[in-house]
Structure 1
Amino acid sequence: MSCTHLHFLTSVGVKKPNSIRNKDVMCPFCARDLLTDIIDTDGPIMLLKNKYPVLQKSYQTVLIETDDCHSELSIYQKDHLYRLFRFAINHWIKMEESGKYESVLLFKNHGPLSGGSIAHPHMQIIGLEDVDYTLHIKAEDFIGLEIDSYKGAEFTLSTLPKIGFYEFNVKLGERKEIEPFARYVQTAVHYILTNFPFHCNSYNLFFYKLGQERYAKIVPRFITSPLYVGFSIPQIPDNLEWMKEDLQKHYFTNTEHFHN
C-alpha cells in the first residue's frame, strides 16, 4: 500500500549549503574534482548520488546540467539542450524500470521562490520506495489551450491548473522525438523569465508519467495563494487566451524557423 507522506530528515537538511540565498557560499557543483559517488557522465552533464539525502525511504540523485554555474536552461544551445533531456529522461526511465521504487520523480528548481537551495543548474531524480506520486495526478492536470504542436509533442497552457494561475504543459510524443519536447520546455522557461507579464525569477519544472504518456509541467513561482495552501482551491485567471496568443506572438510567428 502506497504511503501519502514523505519523512524529511531535519538533521541532514540543516547541513545543506544554500547558494541561492547566500551568494558567498561556495558552489559545490563547480568543484567537480571533489565530487564523489558519480553514477554517469556525458560531457559536462553529470549524475551523482545526493550528498544530503533528506528524504527517508528514497534514493536521491542530482543531475548537474552544465559546468557553467551562471548558465540556465532557457539559454542552452540546442545541441546541449537535447543532450541534457536525453540523458535525464533515459536515467529517469532506467530508475523506473529497475523495479525498486513505487515511483520516480524527475524535477528541477530554479530561483529563490522555487524551493531549491543550489543556484548551479541542476535537476533531481529521486526513487521513492513507498510513495506513488501518480495517485495525486489526473489527466485534466495537462489539459489546456494549445500553443503549438509538432511531431506528437504538444505545448499547452493549463485551463485547469493544478496549483492555480499559470502552468505550462508539454506532452512528449514518441520517445525518440525528444527535440520538440525539449524546445517547448525551454520556450516556456524563457517566456517565464523574460517575457512574462509579471516579474518572475523562479520556476519549477516537473516531469510525469501518467499511463502510457509522459508530460512536463512548467510552473512560474510566486508566493503561493493562501486559498491553495489552506483549502487546496486552485484559481484560474481570466487572461489565459491572451497569454496563449502573447506566447505565440513571441515564439511561433514562424513555426518553420522554430522547429529547424
Structure 2
Amino acid sequence: MAGAQRKRPLRGRSLLQELWAALRRHHPPSPHAARRPATREDELLCRPEEFEGPVICERDGVTLNVSDVPRIGFWEFNILPEKLTPAAINTTADFIQIIVDFLTHHFGSQTQSYNIFFYDLGSRIAVKLLPRFATPPIFVGYGIHFRPSSLDEAIHAIRQRYF
C-alpha cells in the first residue's frame, strides 16, 4: 500500500491509553451506557489523508472535521488533538459527545449505532467516528470511496446546532 504507514505500539502507557483514561475521568458514562459502541484501539495501516477534510470546528488545539477520503466510503468524522493537554482532552471528549448526539438524534435516519476508533499516529492520536451502516457494495466490490452529496448540509447543521 503506497503511502500507508504502520505505527508500532509505544512501550508503557500509550497516547491512546492516556486519552481513554482521561476521557473516562472527565466525562461520566452516559445514560445509554448499555448501548455501548464497538470500541477498538487501532494500530493498523492508515493514511494521513483519511483524517483530512472540511473543518467543522477548531478549539483548544483540537480539530473536528469530516473525512474527504473515508476508509469505508461514506460518513467519517475525525477528531484530531495536536497535544493531550487537559483542555484538549476535554474538548476531544466534548467533540465525541457532539458527534454521537448528532448521529443518534439528528442524522438522516437517526442511526442508533456507531463506531469509534482511536488511532496512534506516533506523536499524536486521532479519533474517528462513523455511523454503522451496511458497507456500500461499490466500496466492497471496487474499493471506490465517495463523499456523501449532503456533506456541506451536515457540516452546516452541526455548526448551527452545537457551535
Considering the TM-score relative to the shorter chain, is it more than 0.5?
Answer: yes
| Aligned-partner SS, 2:54 | strand
More strand by share: 1
Aligned pairs (5 A) from 1:168-183: 168-176=77-85, 177-183=88-94
**C-alpha displacement of 1:213:** 2.1
In structure 2, the partner of 1:206 is 117
Q: Would you identify which runs of 4 or more consecutive aligned residues in structure 1 move more than 2 Å? A: 118-127
Where does residue 73 of structure 1 map in the other structure? none
Q: Per chain length, whose mean CA-contact separation is higher, i.e. which structure has more relative contact order (CA < 8 Å, sep 6+)? A: 2
Specify which structure has the higher proportion of helix. 2
CA distance in 2: counterparts of 1:233 and 1:125, whole angstroms = 25
Name which of 3, 24, 49 aligns with 1:84.
24
**Aligned length, in residue pairs:** 137
Deviations 1:19-46 (A, max 9, x none): xxxxxxxxxxxxxxxxxxxxxxxxxxxx
User: Do 1:161 and 1:234's aligned partners in 2 also have CA atoms closer than 8 Å?
Assistant: yes
The one-letter code sitting in structure 2 at the alignment partner of 1:207 is F
Equivalent AA in structure 2 for residue 240 of structure 1: L
SS in 1 for 2:156: helix
Per-residue CA shift, 1:92-148, capped at 9, x if unaligned? xxxxxxxxxxxxxxxxxxxxxxxxxx9553665669xxxx51xx2011000011111
In structure 2, the partner of 1:68 is none
CA contact (8 A) 2:41 2:119 kept: no
Q: What is the rounded CA distance, in whole Å, between the counterparts of 1:85 and 1:145 in structure 2?
A: 30
Is the partner of 1:241 in helix, strand or coil?
A: helix
Q: Which residue pairs with 1:156 in the alignment?
A: 65
Q: What are the residue-to-residue correspondences of 1:237-252 with 2, within 5 Å? A: 237-252=148-163
Change (3 A) 1:125 1:156: closer
Instruction: Extract unaligned runs of 5+ from structure 1.
Output: 1-64, 66-80, 88-117, 253-260
Distance 1:228 1:138, change over 3 A: same
**Which residue type is aligned with residue 125 of structure 2?**
R
Return the alpha-carbon distance in structure 2 between the equivalents of residues 126 and 213 of structure 1: 14
Structure 2 gap segments, 5+ residues each = 1-19, 28-32
| Contact 1:165 1:236 (8 Å CA) reproduced | yes
**What secondary structure does 1:144 align onto?**
coil
CA distances 1:128-176 after superposition (whole Å, capped 9, x unpaired): xxxx51xx20110000111111111000011211111211000023212
Superposition deviation, residue 85 in structure 1: 6.3
Q: Which residue of 2 aligns with 1:121?
A: 36
Rg larger in structure:
1
Instruction: Give, in whole Å, the separation in 1 of the partners of 2:35 and 2:96.
Output: 19
What is the CA–CA distance in structure 1 between the aligned matches of 2:69 and 2:39, rounded to whole Å? 26
> TM-score if structure 2 supplies the norm length?
0.73
